Structure 1
Amino acid sequence: MTEEQHLREYTKALKAHLPRHFFEPVPARLAFLPAFLALFGLCTWGILATPYILLKLLLSFGIGYAFIGMGFLAHEILHGAVTKNPVLRSITGTIAFVPLMVGARLWRKWHNVEHHGSTQHPEDDPDAMGTLESATKRPIVQWAFRQVPALRSFFLFFAWTFWFTLHAHMMLRRFFPDFKPNERPAVIFQAILPPLVWLGVLLLVGPLNFLFVFVIPWVIANFIAMSFIATNHLLNPITETNDPLLNSLTVRNPRWLEWLTLGFGYHIEHHVFPVLSPKYAHIVAAKIKELWPERYNELPHWKALVYLWKTPRLYRDHRNLIEPTTGKVFGTMGFGLNDAKVFPRKAEARRQRRKTRTQK
């Protein structure tokens, strides 16, 4: 892997190869919103109508998909990939983020400005993991890294069931002072609206049905969201320069699943062109691979999840992760993180088999 390049170098080169209409909003994508709301309404009706717990649970998974689908759509809308109309963008983005309880204005500040502007920067990216040096100053991190790696990985994956929403509320506390006085009422309104909506639903459907109408779907949506967000960045090096081919990872799923998740796994492409509709992401991916094949990082989604389970979430330096309980060092994407490092026993078995065949 060569040294860091700035985002501008990629965008300038790619725009010469891509049609202009790729950078225009795709309003047809807004049709997903009523579809997801209809799915939520239909499954909610089924949960209220049936006395069977297993059927309620099955319908709850349908709502979980509607919730995460709305989350992915909110991400598109608030980047301007669906509409340029600021009022329509704000209203639809607010509605789409109600299940995950994130405010639209907060998201644009936290995600669009801070995360995209400083991706994987050790101090400036609000979503980046810490370094070994910074971990020594945080008691909860010190406690976590005293646990055996498998238990720590379990805690990490379990935390995904609520972390996206919790992190959003942490970001509200962090960035609220940055909003101008005239912006703060809208930020506060968007923060309290989702809990009020779900409190109203609780009063309407009762505690048992609320478990299936909201709690279980909310857990599912949080987990799926974090399974993408974590794999999109946390295996990559931390960077001082905003280099999306270095600090981001595209994760691939079967095509039908990529359609259901609105192409969210094409994350390198998204960080190169945040306003680009995921509708065109696969074309941009092919062009990036053509222009910078040695820099492009891509994994099957399932394998990226295994990599996350097998590696620590603490940086020894910009290019390497470290397991503090053993001192074992793992590279990052593009800097030595591969199957041989993550699955050393399998790699050794393959070497032995090749050695045996050679001797024969």
Structure 2
Amino acid sequence: MVNLVESKGLMTQADYARKLRPLLPPEAFLPDENYTWILLINLTILILGWGIADYLDRWHWYLLWLALPLALVMGNSVIVLLFSTHNIMHSASIKNPWLKRAISLLGLTMLWMPPTLWKAVHNREHHHQTNSLQDPDRNYLAEQPKTWGKWIQNQFVPSAEVNPILLTIGMAHSWGIHAFRNLSSVLLFNNGSTKYPVCAFTVSPADRQAIGWELLLMIGLHISILTWLDFHPIKLLLGYFLPIWIGHSGAMFYIYTNHMLCRMTSVNDPLVNSISLRVPKIFDVLHLNFSYHTEHHIFPGMNSDYYPLVQELLQTHYPDRFNLLDAGKVWQLMLQTPRHYLDENTFTDWSGTKSVSCPLSADWSSMNSKL
């Protein structure tokens, strides 16, 4: 019997999982070692890219544009490192905890995200409290203090008010701001009451120490890359900064469109607080089906190859509840709406003068037919 939260019309993640799991093949829930190989392959691509970039000072200036396709490939590898590590940390594909931690650290170094912090902010906080008051990945509330963290997010995040130039800059730097907010909050304070993150949380003393050591290792790895490239401006621009900017921008496109257009929910209902995207097939192949995000929130540890099958089941059993939109449409809606929550169903702007209902709160049986 489905446990329907009648007052809100919401269901829990467990409700969906309980109904859909018997309809899925057992192999969908087996550990997939391919995530580790994908991570290592893309780490190798980055290393080869830095090796090529080390020779850029010998290229004639009019040939430097040839490094742009290389930066694009390296940038995609940054995205894949994030998504493959994301899957590894959700699954049991690596059973040895120390090996899992080491592999995850390599995968998240280009994202400046210590794996112990990722486990806390993403696996623990975000997945269990998605788009609720306690979710560190949601939009800021209008009533939250106008701190530097909130101000920067207001300048960078896609909305009806955002400056296009700042949005472009923000695509490349918002991930860094997100990591810095949570890192500094945990390492410097760790009291759960810091005002500048979206939602502060705490970690244990042991995890706090682990985050500090992991961050130091990441700093050392980045310094090693910069030293390899001789701190040369052209090498750094085309071989280090540009791939990172491309990678962070691609990751942020997914992250923005996963939840930030949705309304807030006090009950963790993935079909209400998450969006799955329709993207060209090549991106699903490259990015491990990350566009199937509602499916992921129902079965976080599932082999992502089977998310299309989960989507078919959601379209069969919950056609009027499931948020499945073209990626371009979601982006368009984000640029037409403010980005702060006035309440759980309403967006407002920085000044609090606008009041715009969440476009996904409408009757989806009629709305989906138009999208």
Q: What one-letter code is carried by the residue in structure 1 that aligns with 2:26? A: R
Q: CA deviation at 1:158?
A: 2.8
Q: Which amino acid in structure 1 is aligned with residue 287 of structure 2? A: T
Residue pairs, 1:59-138, within 5 angstroms: 59-80=70-91, 82-122=93-133, 124-134=134-144, 137-138=145-146
Residue type of the alignment partner of 2:33: P
C-alpha distance 212-235 of structure 1, shift in aligned 2 (>3 A): same
Q: Which has the larger radius of gyration?
A: 1
Structure 1 residue 287 corresponds to structure 2 residue 313: yes
Which residue of structure 2 lines up, in the alignment, with residue 302 of structure 1?
A: 328
CA contact (8 A) 1:5 1:243 kept: yes
Q: Is the 8 A contact 1:80 1:89 kept in 2?
A: no
Compare 43-52 and 20-29 and name the one that shifted more. 43-52
2:153 & 2:80 partners in 1: Cα distance? 32
> Could you list the per-position Cα deviations for residues 4-52 of structure 1 after superposition, in whole angstroms to 9, with x for gaps in the alignment?
1111111111112112221221112321122212221232233233413
Deviation at 1:266? 0.8
Cα distance 1:154–1:131, how it changes in 2: closer, same or farther (>3 A)? Answer: farther
* 1: CA distance, partners of 2:312 / 2:92: 20
1:190 aligns with: 214
Kindly indicate whether the alpha-carbon contact (under 8 Å) linking 1:321 and 1:330 is maintained by their aligned counterparts in 2. yes
Partner amino acid, structure 2, of 1:327? K
1:273 aligns to 2:284 (yes or no): no
Matched residue of 1:183: which SS?
helix
Matches within 5 A, 1:131-146: 131-134=141-144, 137-138=145-146
* C-alpha contact (below 8 Å) 1:23/1:275 kept by paired residues: yes
Note closer, same or farther for the CA distance 1:119–1:325 as it changes in structure 2 (3 Å cut): closer
35-44 vs 7-16, greater mean Cα deviation: 35-44
Distance 1:250 1:33 in 2: 24
Going from structure 1 to structure 2, the CA distance change for 1:325 and 1:168 (only over 3 Å counts) comes to closer
Give the distance between the partners of 1:103 and 1:143, measured in 2 at CA: 22
TM-score by length of 1: 0.85
Task: Answer yes or no: is the 8 Å Cα contact 2:321–2:364 preserved in 1.
Answer: no
Q: Work out the number of aligned pairs and report it.
A: 338
What residue in structure 2 maps to residue 202 of structure 1? 226
* 2:359 corresponds to which of 332, 338, 345: 332
Distance change in 2, residues 1:26/1:241 (3 Å): same
CA deviations over 1:229-275 (Å, ceiling 9, x no partner):
11000010101011111100011211111111111111101111111
* Identical amino acids, percent of aligned pairs: 26
Task: Name whichever of 152-161 and 276-285 sits farther off.
Answer: 152-161
* Paired residues of 2:50 and 2:240 also in contact (CA < 8 A): no
The Cα of 1:157 is off from its aligned counterpart by 4.7
AA aligned to 2:31 is P
Question: Are 1:179 and 2:203 matched, yes or no?
Answer: yes
- 2:322 is the alignment partner of 1:312: no
Distance (whole Å) between structure 1 residues aligned to residue 27 and residue 152 of structure 2 = 51
User: Where do 5+ consecutive residues of structure 2 fail to align?
Assistant: 1-5, 191-201
> What amino acid does structure 1 have at the position aligned with 2:306?
Y
Q: Whole-Å Cα distance in 2 between the matches of residues 102 and 54 of structure 1?
A: 31
Identify if the C-alpha distance between structure 1 residues 339 and 155 changes in structure 2 by more than 3 Å, giving closer, same or farther: farther
TM-score normalised by length of structure 2: 0.83
Name the CA shift for 1:210/1:339 in 2 (closer, same or farther; >3 Å): farther
